[in-house]
Amino acid sequence: MAANKIPRLIATSVVRGSEKGQSHGGVYTIDFSIPQVTQHIDWNTSNIDFTGRGWDRGLRGIAYNQEDVFIAASDELFCYNPDFEVRASYTNRYLKHCHEICKKDNYLFLTSTGYDSLLVFDLVARQFTWGLYISRDGQKWLGQKFDPESTAGPPPSNNYHINMVHVNQHGIYFSGLNTRAVLKVDGQMNISEVSNLPAGAHNARPFRNGLLFNDTQSDAVRYVARDGAECAFGVPRYKDSELDFMGVDDSRVARQAFGRGLCVISESLVAAGSSPSTVSIYDLNSRERIAAVNISMDVRNAIHGLEVWPF
């Protein structure tokens, strides 16, 4: 596929290990036909928690509802118009270290990594209406529903680092760095394992007849079909001499080829993010990377959210 046939994308980024007074990421649209990157938001706030890893830095998951663009920060859900002017923002005591979000019907589903929970935001009522606390008893996964507007919800916990939620007509799917599986929630709030998942994976979701995910620890984007057939792409790497801020931080906090951010363009094309902030387009049929755009050569700057831009 030619670059001019690739739709525009929107990406958010997180600057891992950044300090006060520095940019902590932003929001960009990417036109692959030129190519051109346009930055719409530079995220820099005095309210950011600076303790460890990416945490509160930057903006995260992206979802749409008609003319509303929803983008999650760590503990706040922002609503923008297509010109990236803030229309509203929403907070909740149980929303902490949010990563990805997903819209289904009139609801937004959000990961609350700091509470081992999923939260649901009603797009009509414009409030958080229910949450699901995730725990485990031996080999059995448990889901405990709670009211996010009450004080009787779960205590802070980050046992599974839940960082992905995907919702379709079959159920609610979610996963985390430490779940080692993609999990599914049914209508009775029962949780079952759908598929095994490598430790440290991001953005795992059902796709075609299998599973699509960022195999972050292996520096790869991977699609695995139900019959075991696999298609994998290596995450782009750059020469150390080309990178900015190399060696200024612990490699566990900021490293190149950290794969995160993933969206489906078609049945054969997917877009994936990596650090330093790069968005690549992969063709599962030809098994090739057909396009890539770099946003920053700052090794700390990592793509987080990634979606097709519909406006």
The token duo for 290 is: 């057909």
Token pair 């990634």: residue: 306
pLDDT tens per residue across all 311 residues of the chain: 556 589 999 999 988 654 544 456 799 999 999 999 999 998 765 444 434 444 445 789 999 999 999 999 989 999 999 999 999 999 999 999 999 999 999 999 999 999 999 999 999 999 999 999 999 999 899 999 999 999 999 999 999 999 999 999 999 999 999 999 999 999 888 999 999 999 999 999 999 999 999 999 999 999 999 988 999 999 999 998 999 877 655 445 568 899 999 999 999 999 999 999 999 999 999 999 999 999 999 888 899 999 999 99
Residue 271 within a domain: no
Task: Give the domain extent around 75.
Answer: 42-258
Residue 268 within a domain: no
Structure confidence at residue 255 (pLDDT): 82
> From CA 14, how far away is CA 23, in angstroms rounded?
9
pTM of the shown model: 0.91
- Rg of the Cα atoms in the chain: 18
Closest by alpha carbon to 236, among 199, 197, 271, 202? 271
Structure confidence at residue 31 (pLDDT): 96
Residue 133 within a domain: yes
> From CA 118, how far away is CA 109, in angstroms rounded?
7
Residue 156 within a domain: yes
Say if CB 98 and CB 113 are below 8 A apart. yes
Long-range contacts of residues 62-69, Cβ cutoff 8 Å, at least 24 apart: 62/10, 62/12, 62/101, 62/305, 62/306, 62/307, 63/101, 63/102, 63/103, 63/108, 63/307, 64/103, 64/307, 64/310, 65/103, 65/108, 65/123, 68/123, 69/10, 69/311
Structure confidence at residue 188 (pLDDT): 86
Residue 266 within a domain: no
Residue 96 within a domain: yes
Residue 247 within a domain: yes
Can you give 197-254 as a three-state secondary structure string?
CCCCCEEEEEECCEEEEEEHHHCEEEEEECCCCEEEEECCCCCHHHCECCCCCCCCCC
Question: Residue 189 belongs to a domain with what CATH number?
Answer: 2.130.10.10
Residue burial 55-77, b: 16+ Cβ < 10 Å; e: rest: bbbbbbbbbbeeeebbbbbbbbb
Structure confidence at residue 246 (pLDDT): 73
Residue 270 within a domain: no
Into how many domains does the chain fold?
1
Structure confidence at residue 68 (pLDDT): 98
